[in-house]
Amino acid sequence: MAVESAPDTKTLKVGDEAPDFTLDSATTNGSVTLSAFRGKQNVVLAFFPYAFSGTCSAQMPSYEAELDRFRSYDTEVIGVSEDSKHALAAWAKQYGLTFPLLSDFYPQGKVVDLYGVRHAAGMPERALVVVDKSGKIAWIHVHRPTGEVPDNEELFEVLRKLS
């Protein structure tokens, strides 16, 4: 079920099948494959420019603080950046982040480009993509300017509509 959305990404729109991928996780053992959630949970893909940057260091801990609320909507939060797995692991430790933080480091930006969320300056956009349980893109929001911290209440409204 698609819900009202902000502009689509450069390659995807609401209603499209979410491209599958597998990336290494800095916070969980091994790797994470998006299709493993199909039929089980919604997924919030939170693309972000850089670990240790000011806005990202406010955004990702805000998701950690509300993980129980996300999970009450049968939703997993997954952060994706082009930072190395080691940098993400250090950042996660510093901020106490436990949800999957995935490294799209090598080949650099493969998933960022697959989802069409590369900023003109080369790094990932601050973009949120909600994938519903059926594997379809239910909502997209690319935050411009990139210094804007996303509003979690907007995400929870989307997830409420998917329930």
What is the set of active-site residues?
Answer: 56
Identify which has the larger pLDDT, 98 or 121: 98
Q: Tell me how far CA of residue 7 lies from CA of 11, 13, 44, 87, in angstroms.
A: 11, 8, 17, 31
The 10s digit of each residue's pLDDT in 5-26 is 445 567 799 999 999 999 999 9
Q: In the chain, what are the domain boundaries?
A: 22-162
d(CA 163, CA 42) in angstroms, rounded, equals 10
Please tell me the predicted confidence (pLDDT) of residue 96. Answer: 97
* Banded model confidence at residue 115, pLDDT cuts 50, 70, 90: very high
The 10s digit of each residue's pLDDT in 64-109 is 999 999 999 999 999 999 999 999 999 999 999 999 999 999 878 8
Which one is the CATH code of 22-162: 3.40.640.10, 3.40.30.10, 3.30.230.10, 3.40.50.510? 3.40.30.10
